[in-house]
A and B are shown apart, each in its own frame.
Chain A
Amino acid sequence: MTDADSAIFSDAARGLLTSGASGAALIRRAADEGWAEELSGPAIEGLFDTQAQLLTERSPLLDLVALDALARATGQSVLDPSDTAVVYPAGLAEPGCRGSGFAFAGVDRARTLIVPIQTALGCSMATYPADLPRTQTTGIDPGLGLSRVDLDAEPLEVAESGLGQVACDAVVAAARVAVACELVGLARAMLALATTHVSVREQFGRPIGSFQAVRHQLADAFVAIDSAGLAVAQYWEWPDPEQAALTKSLAGWAHATTADVCLQVHGAIGFTAEHDLHRYIRRGWALDAILGSPRELDLSWGARIVAQPELPRLGDLATPYSAEPSAPTLEERSRT
């Protein structure tokens, strides 16, 4: 992705996200503006990085990414995000929901719910009626407007196992990377706050940012954020479900590390309701609990590579430099 690409999408995203719309109105507006189909890497990065910087309230825009990925994987047209919502798994690294899941604000717009689910054979994509029992939950960040959706009912439809697995992997991978973009954006915003703070806050007659203990912690946060950004860029180069899990893990650790460091170097002011820092922290903590927490993803990666005959070397020199995905499409893979 070039800087010019991301700047174009960031500007467009800023226009969308400062329109005052939220929930169902926000996703309808996004669809009207053409965000619902063929979401490129730079578009996703621009949208979710901007959403992070603005701390957008009650945004269901992750559904755009999931529905776009579903359409690509199945070769069908994109389901209308104005009346379709997505339910996401939380906590564990497995890609499908078991028993329940979480939907973002504006789920009441939906006539049907699209849900990645665990099956006996792995995972698949299911369609549920919109009238499933659900309860609103504040979570640590009430601004997300999450609902817990009870999935005990029979689904209306479950994709056949081969295509279902491919579609589920594709939807979860795309959503993981979009969340990773938002986590990286939140971490960058926190690091910017902290950099400014330690440059002006003085103790012992000098800015606290001149103390090595403070400087080195912020440098470590930068390393973590940079690593996560590289993983996102690698995913655009080679969009592979395995790499999406690693990317989310790296972004989650980057956010968690940066949150810890920034909270420390802000001192007491960082804990106040008046200061913005905690809003970036709790937004990331909540988002990172969805679609596999970093520890769970590390554990599942460990289990995967122990079981595999070859240790994967992800990110080749011989792949092209261009931002365009060069891997076979998921649809093509499902045929082989």
Chain B
Amino acid sequence: MIPLLQASQFPGRHSVLEPAGAQAALIKDGLWDPMFVTASVTFALVVAALLWALLRRRVGGETLEDPARQRRLGLTVSLATAVTTIVLFVFLVVDSTVGRATTATPGHSALQIRVTGHQWWWEVQYRDSLAQHWVTTANEIHIPVGRPVVVELRSTDVIHSFWPPNLSAKRDLIPGHENSLWLEADSSGEYRGQCAEYCGHQHAKMAFLVVAEPSDSFAGWLAGQRDTAATPADSLTRRGQEVFLGSACPMCHAVAGTPAGSRVGPDLTHLGSRRTLAAGTLPNTRGNLAGWIVNPQAIKPGAKMPPNALSPDDLQALLAYLETLR
């Protein structure tokens, strides 16, 4: 089952140092860069002072008890302390400026997305005044470039933490608390994020993808996601739908337009359009999907999805059906 992982090009970048949005850029340019320079210089100075003190040539007749000498030394120590304090104070001012900028609330045009953390996947919901326009997907967040996005963060089980480093800092999803953060992508691209709060067995494999795209293609994507699932067009996919509905799948998964409506696991209505499987663990290919369905425990030990013993024919039909869910 494991050759699945030889997947070719994995989508998504993730790095604090390559900001792709205002929030992350403020932190990198406004905080990290100056801090790094200051710390490096200070480190060099302290180590130099230490080495000098250690290795300096001792003059024979130094009188250590000389009060003038003690005073000079005291003055040097006080001066170093004063400089430390001033540097820290400047840093405090810089920090609160950046802090203000990153937390300033975006305008009304912000897009609202609700992300709910589950052990070990992300539920993503685009809400709308019309309930039938709500879009529910999983592990993949599409956002329009150049428009602020408010991400409402919720959890119903344990604490998770939402972190797409190129776009924004992280924020925890805490049961009983309503958190949110906002971010804005400067340029289109795929940005990887991962759960940053230890949340149990598969904390390691709880990633997501943020797909930033121009606003018209985003609008197109959103409209597509509002549709119910495609009706099976041929006998193979019809057979696949029967397998899907007749097996354990609907106990946890929903496919809009079919009787399957459970919200325990990810919504599969548009599974075929997603880039990854199992919360950013595998590229979404037919082989990977087959491996995941048959034995998820080999890929994510401890995950909530049970193994499914399907006959080869049933499996092929099911895969064909799932691939139609675009």
Instruction: Verify that A and B bind, or say they do not.
Output: no
